[in-house]
Chain A
Amino acid sequence: MRNFVKTVAAVALVTATLPVQAEGKLSLYHWFEYIPQELLDKFSKEHDVEVTMDTFDSNESMLASLKAGKLGLYDISVPGDYMVEIMAGEGLLDTFESSELSNFGNIDPQWLDVGFDPGRKSSIPYQIGTTGFMVNRDEYKGDIDSLSIIFDPPEELRGHINVLDSQGEVIALASLYLDIPQCSSDRDQLKQLNDLLQTSKQHWSSFGSDIAKDVLVSGDAKAGMIYNGFGAKARGENASLEYAYPKEGYVFWMDNAVLLKDAPNRANALKFLDFLLEPENAAAITNYAQYISGVSGAMALASDEVKQAPELNPPAGQPGAFIATCDQQVQTVYDTIWTNLKK
């Protein structure tokens, strides 16, 4: 039976291409559009390692997917600050000794002893940025210094607003707008938060993080929440876009490359972390993603265009806020608020 022979041959062919858990591999679980392909190629070449990468578009979806059985498939992920703490608490992170990384000393001292990973046991700084929003100035010429653009938008923008599909950021910004402390367990405040999002939702046209730049550039949305570096890229493609640092505050974040538990290629993962700590490579990421690097000496090598981008230079005296890690009780309410928002 020729058919049968063909079948066996085909199955053999596919099995032959099955991934082998050998040295020479590195499996990344990374944000979308956050590392230039050239840099991955460079690492591949230098260390003779085959790099594969899957992408995610929010801290929460990455966490959910790792908890749902993807742990053990990846070596490295890149969670935001609060998510590092959550992942450590969930037992999803492996630890390393500072001596295992020859470039450990390149970590910018101010980011060495951070609250979410004291002493940097599982993570190294990746990029630092902010989350605010952008407005198409051709469509709306009024003031854009308030989060009301998103949560109580002016007539011109209603129905043309994109919001990040990211629970942490949306709820943190809404809390800032209402001037409610993050993780407040006050029932009235939580209700207020829920009500605000329910009302604002009517003015929003889409939810999405990976689409955030494109909807603004293409004109599908006239305003939208966005990360500052992503926004800088958007402005590069459509000059009428302006990033805002709202007076109520904005989200300040730091993404970190972490070593995942049960990493199939731990040794290569450490090599990669070392690689990321080379100022030259960190600068390449900054030039591509357009955020601030947390590696000493990297910003000196970054292009002036990126360093001087208005998106990367918040007005003085207007600090951002880190997203807080809430306890289970509040987080459960947040989950309900988010579910209400998305249904």
Chain B
Amino acid sequence: MAAQLPGSSRPAGGIYSGLGMPLIMPAWLCIGFFLLLPVAIMFVYSFLTKEFRGGVIWEFSTAAYDQFFFYRGLFGDEPRQLDWTYITIFARSIWQALVATILCFIIGFPTAWFIATRAGNSRSIWLFLITVPYWVNLLIRTISLKFLIRDQGPVNNWLISGGVIGEPIHMINTNFAVMLGLFYSYLPFMVLPIYASVERYNFALSEAAADLYSSRWTTLRYVVLPAVKPGIIAGCILVFVPSLGAFLAPDLLGGAKNFMIGSLIEEQFKGNAGNWPFGAAASMILLSLVLCVLIFYARAQTRENP
């Protein structure tokens, strides 16, 4: 998904005038009925009452949101006080997604720039090589990473046999592993949109800046970055949003102890908790967060191209 999404530009007219809506209707029905409606029902569920030992009762309750923000003590009879634990889980998820996004940018931007400045065939090959991992199963990539960084895994084994370290570096089941996993999972998502932006960048601008005695890095900072900003924002969103709700990386690499939003939600449906209303409420809160990010993005977009 490049900065300028295909199909988002103004239509040039066409021979099917008047058929627009009918042609899009199947998509409307499909997504409306099986995604919009479910999200609406999920919203309703977040206000239902949890049944003892799992299941829901059709009774209005704000208990799920109450549980999210407040703690009423072990016995539920203390005055309610703001509870930071779930907010912390969200904050931690946002933080980890943010770090992963920044890491992706640090590696992704130079890579995208480098690829976009290759000539014909070499560029195609580089682009192809970046695309391949994007098509490889995410689960398999996460498993590969888990295998690689465990205490007895190849990385530690090589470092130890190479005499670099004496004791294995404990990486698995730490926050670091989760961040690494997110970074690794979504790196191609950063490279591709930035590449699309840089490809369209007019290098004459850089030449002009150089003629005015701007240094390479000054040009990068004041000329190039603003010009390719839409690609960067698109890349950041494509890394940040899925990282925020990721399940595989925290579960497989984080040991399911340091919850992220994704694993917290999963626990409500698949784990011991069996608390559907709470899971629905947490999903709603996550969805709202993501929508905020997307609205911010859309506004930035319209500011760029009014």
Contact = CB atoms under 8 A, between A and B. Distances in A.
Contacts of A220: 150-152, 172-173
Given A61-B271, A64-B274, A342-B273, A165 B256 contact: yes
A208 interface: yes
B256 A333 contact: no
B134 interface: no
B237 interface: no
A1 to B, nearest CB: 13
Contacts of B274: 60-61, 63-65, 67-68
Interface in B1-57: 51-55
B297 interface: no
A138 to B, nearest CB: 12
Contacts of A328: 52
Nearest to B251: A208
A338 interface: yes
B175 to A, nearest CB: 12
A339 B52 contact: no
A63 B53 contact: yes
A219 B150 contact: yes
A159 B76 CA distance: 31
Interface residues of chain B: helix, strand, loop or mixed (majority): loop
Interface stretch (B98-106, B114-122, B196-204, B262-270): B262-270
B86 interface: yes
B74 A336 contact: yes
B271 A165 contact: yes
B183 interface: no
A207 B255 contact: yes
A190 B272 contact: no
Contacts of B270: 61, 65
B261 to A, nearest CB: 12
Contact of B273 (A162, A205, A339): A339
B151 A166 contact: no
Contacts of A205: 173-174, 255, 257
A68 B276 contact: yes
Nearest to A190: B74
A204 B174 CA distance: 11
B50 to A, nearest CB: 10
Interface of B: 51-55, 74-76, 85-86, 89, 150-152, 168, 170, 172-174, 255-257, 259, 264, 267, 269-274, 276
The 3 closest A-B pairs by CB, nearest first: A64-B274, A206-B255, A64-B54
10 contacts: A64-B272, A65-B270, A167-B272, A194-B74, A201-B257, A208-B255, A331-B53, A337-B74, A342-B267, A342-B272
